[in-house]
Structure 1
Amino acid sequence: MPAELYDIRDDRFKKLIHGNAGMDTLSTGGRWTEGPAYFPAGRYLIWSDIPNDRIMRWDEMNGAVSVFEQPCRNHNGHTVDALGRMIACEHRGRCISRYEFDGSRTVLANSYDGKKLNSPNDVTVKSDGSIWFSDPSYGIDSDYEGDAAPMEQDGRHVYRIDPDGTITRVIDDMRQPNGLAFSPDESALFVADTGRTHFPDCDPVIRRYPLAADGRSVGQGENFVTCDTGLFDGFRFDTKGNIWSSAGDGVHCFAPDGTLLGKILIDEVVANLCFGGAKRNRLFICSTTSLRAIYVNARGAG
C-alpha cells in the first residue's frame, strides 16, 4: 500500500483500509469545503463551500459537479434525517433549517431563550427524531463565513431540537463545540472542541458525553482523544464504533477504546467527512479546497 497515503499506527488499521484503493479527487476550486452529506435515494452528495456561499452537488452516476444552491446563507454542516430530508446549519441564517420534499425551507431553530443563535456549525439526527447541533461563533466572527455580529448567547453550546420543536441546551462546558456524532448504539454523544482557534489554552479534543436514560440529556463529559496535528472538526463513526475524524494532516481513525489506529494522509487540512455510496463504505472528505473520496473496509453507522 502506498506509504504516502497511509500512516499505520496499529495493525488493526490494516484491516480497515484497502491497499489498492487510491484517493479520488472529485472536485476542486473551493475556498473552505465543509458539511458533506450523502443522499442514497438520489445517489448524490452535497457539501458546503462556505466563503463562496454555495452548496455543491456531486452525482455518483456520472461524476458531474454542479452548484446546488447559491447564495445559500453560508451553510456549514449538513445531515439527512430518517425521511431523506436535508438538515442544514446556516451561518448567515444563524439557524438550523430543513429542506422539505417540495423544495421549500423550514427554519427549525434560530434562537434560544429569546436570543439569536451564534452560527450553527454541525448537526446530527438521533433515532428518536431529535436534532442535535453545535453553535460556535465562527459565522459571526467576521464577514468571511457569514455576517459579523455580536454574540447574543452567553457562550458557545450544544442544543437539541425535539420533534415538537422544543429547543434545549444540552452541553455548556465547551469553548467552541464543532463536529458531533452519536456512538452507533447512541449511548454517548461525542463532540469536537476547536476552541484553540480563540483560546490558546484549549486542548484540541473530542469529548465524550454519556446519554441519560431518557436519551434527552447527557452526563458529565470527558476528553476522549486529542489531536496531534491541527484540530479535530467533523467526524463520523463506522458500524464497529471506530471514529474517522478530520484533522490538520488528513483523516485520523480511532478505535472504540481511543487508540489511534492510523491516518489517511492528505495535503490539505480536512474539515469534515461522511460515509456514502451504495454500501456506505466510501469515505467522502472535504479538504480545504477540494472534495475527495476513498474506499475503506468499513461501513458508516447510522
Structure 2
Amino acid sequence: MKTSLLLLLTLAVLSCRDQKKAIAAPEAMPKQHPYPLLKEGSLEALDNSFWSIIPKEAKIEILAEGHQWTEGPLWLASKNMLLYSDIPKNAVFSWTEEEGSNLYLRPSGYLGKDFEGSEPGSNGLLLDKKGNLVLCQHGERRIVKMEGFIDDPQPIFTPIATRYGAARFNSPNDAVYKSNGDLYFTDPPYGLPALMETVEKELPYQGVFKVTKSGVVELLTNELTRPNGIAFSPDEKKMYLSNSDPEYAIWKVYDVDQDGLLKNGKIFFDATSMVPHEKGLPDGLKVDDEGNLFATGPGGVFLFSPEGKLLGKIRTGQATSNCSFNQDKSTLYITADSYVLRIELSGT
C-alpha cells in the first residue's frame, strides 16, 4: 500500500513538472524569410527615432524580379494584392502571397501598335472613392479609369484628364486624390519619345495639375523642371512634390489653401549633391499617419520627419522609383529598377 501511494505521489510530481514545461514561454526565434533578401539592402539610421518606425531586425525581401522598370505600387486591401506597373513592358502586374507575380493588365499605357520611346506603359496607379483603378498613362498622355471590375481587368478606359486647355499633357506620372474627390497629378516628359525634344510636346513646361470632381483641369505650378512624386500630409494642409532632375534633385513642400491651390512653396530637402554618388533621383513618395515621409531618392528610400529632418534611409543599392503601404501601414512595398521589394515597419 505504501509502495503504491509513493508511486502515485511520484507520478503526480512528474506530471506537474511536465505541465510547467508545457506552458513555459518558448524561446524567441529569429523570423524566417520565405523570400530571398536583397543583398545590397541595408538600413541606415541617422536619428534614433528611425528605429521606432522601422524595426532593427527588418530585412528587405525580394518579392519579384526580372522586370524592366517597376513603378506605381498600389496595395489592394480587399484582395490582399499588390499591383504595380512595368512601364517599358506596357503592363500592370499583380503580386499575392499565394501566387507570386503575374501579368494583370496589358496594354496599360499605350494602346497603339508602335511606340518610339522607351516608356509607353502606365506609371502611377491609385483607386478612386468607388474602388475603380485609375492609371497615369505615359503613352496615351492622359489619366484614365479602367472600366470593369478589379477581378476582371480589361484594357478599356474612360479618360479623366487628357488636356490642359487645347494642349495635350506630356505624360502624367503620379497622382493622389484629396478627400474631397479632387485629383492632383504631376506631368513630366518621361513618356514622350524624345523627352523635351519631342516635336509633339504641346506644353512648354512640366506642370502639376488638379482635376476637380466636375472635370475642370487647373494648373497649380509649373516651376519644377521634372515634377514626379506627389503626396498630401495627413491633414491635407501640405503637399509634397519631388523633382527628379539630376541638376536640381529636391523635394518641395507647399501649403494647400482652402481652394485646394498650392502656396508658399519651399525646399523640403535638397539631394543634388548625392546624385553623382548614388543611383536614383527624387521620385515617388508616401506619407504615414504621423506625417513621416517615405521618399524614394538617391540610394533608396529616405525617411523624413514632418519637419524635414532626415531620420535615415532604407538602402536598396538600386534606382528606386516608388513605394506604397499596406492597409495598416505595417509593411512598405518598394519598386526599385527591376525589383519589387518589401520591408516590415513598426505599424500603427
**Residue 67 (1) aligns with residue 103 (2):** yes
Q: Which structure: greater helix fraction?
A: 2
Instruction: Give the direction of change, closer, same or farther, for the CA distance of 1:3–1:50 in structure 2 (3 Å limit).
Output: closer
DSSP-derived class of the 1:118 partner: coil
Aligned with 2:88 (options 34, 37, 51) = 51
- The equivalent of 1:136 in structure 2 is 188
The answer (yes or no) to whether the contact 2:300–2:317 under 8 Å persists in 1 is yes
TM-score (norm 1): 0.90
Q: Tell which deviates more after alignment, 44-53 or 1-10.
A: 1-10
Aligned-residue Cα RMSD (Å) equals: 2.1
- The equivalent of 2:316 in structure 1 is 266
Equivalent residues in 2 for 1:287-302 (5 A)? 287-299=336-348
Partner Cα separation in structure 1 for residue 313 and residue 144 of structure 2? 33
Equivalent residues in 2 for 1:108-147 (5 A)? 108-142=160-194
Aligned with 1:171 (options 211, 217, 221) = 221
Percent identity between the aligned chains?
29
TM-score (norm 2): 0.78
DSSP-derived class of the 2:50 partner: helix
**Residue 15 (1) aligns with residue 15 (2):** no
1:154 positional shift: 1.7
Partner Cα separation in structure 2 for residue 140 and residue 289 of structure 1? 21
1:281 positional shift: 1.4
**Residue 96 (1) aligns with residue 133 (2):** no
Q: Tell which deviates more after alignment, 103-112 or 88-97.
A: 103-112
Q: Tell which deviates more after alignment, 148-157 or 261-270.
A: 148-157
1:225 positional shift: 1.1
DSSP-derived class of the 1:271 partner: strand
Instruction: Give the direction of change, closer, same or farther, for the CA distance of 1:113–1:291 in structure 2 (3 Å limit).
Output: same
1:279 positional shift: 2.3
The answer (yes or no) to whether the contact 2:40–2:317 under 8 Å persists in 1 is no
Deviation by residue 1:237-282 (Cα, 9 ceiling, x = unmatched): 0110000011221111001111110111112111101101x52311
Equivalent residues in 2 for 1:174-253 (5 A)? 174-196=224-246, 200=247, 203-214=248-259, 216-227=260-271, 228=274, 229=278, 230-253=280-303
Structure 1 segments unaligned to the other structure (5+ residues): none
1:52 positional shift: 1.4
Deviation by residue 1:198-232 (Cα, 9 ceiling, x = unmatched): xx3xx211111101122x21113111112234421
Deviation by residue 1:17-63 (Cα, 9 ceiling, x = unmatched): 12223221110011111111111111111111111111111024x14
Partner Cα separation in structure 1 for residue 308 and residue 99 of structure 2? 36
DSSP-derived class of the 1:220 partner: strand
DSSP-derived class of the 2:191 partner: helix
Partner Cα separation in structure 1 for residue 143 and residue 129 of structure 2? 16
Deviation by residue 1:100-139 (Cα, 9 ceiling, x = unmatched): 3445421101111111110000000110001000000010
| Higher-RCO chain (CA-CA 8 Å, sequence separation at least 6) | 1
1:153 positional shift: 0.7
Partner Cα separation in structure 1 for residue 199 and residue 172 of structure 2? 14
The answer (yes or no) to whether the contact 1:39–1:84 under 8 Å persists in 2 is no
Aligned residues: 288
Instruction: Give the direction of change, closer, same or farther, for the CA distance of 1:53–1:3 in structure 2 (3 Å limit).
Output: closer
Partner Cα separation in structure 2 for residue 279 and residue 39 of structure 1? 12
Instruction: Give the direction of change, closer, same or farther, for the CA distance of 1:159–1:4 in structure 2 (3 Å limit).
Output: closer
Q: Tell which deviates more after alignment, 153-162 or 78-87.
A: 78-87
Q: Which runs of 4+ in 1 moved over 4 A?
A: 1-4, 101-104
Partner Cα separation in structure 2 for residue 97 and residue 31 of structure 1? 23
Aligned with 1:39 (options 62, 73, 76) = 76
Q: Which amino acid aligns with 1:71?
A: P
DSSP-derived class of the 2:51 partner: helix
Structure 2 segments unaligned to the other structure (5+ residues): 1-29, 31-38, 111-120
Deviation by residue 1:133-173 (Cα, 9 ceiling, x = unmatched): 00000100449xxxx65310121001111111111111111
Task: Kindly name which structure, 1 or 2, has the bigger radius of gyration based on alpha carbons.
Answer: 2
Partner Cα separation in structure 2 for residue 12 and residue 177 of structure 1? 29
Aligned with 1:280 (options 329, 334, 341) = 329
Partner Cα separation in structure 1 for residue 199 and residue 342 of structure 2? 35
Partner Cα separation in structure 1 for residue 225 and residue 347 of structure 2? 32
Q: Which amino acid aligns with 1:44?
A: M
Partner Cα separation in structure 2 for residue 153 and residue 240 of structure 1? 37
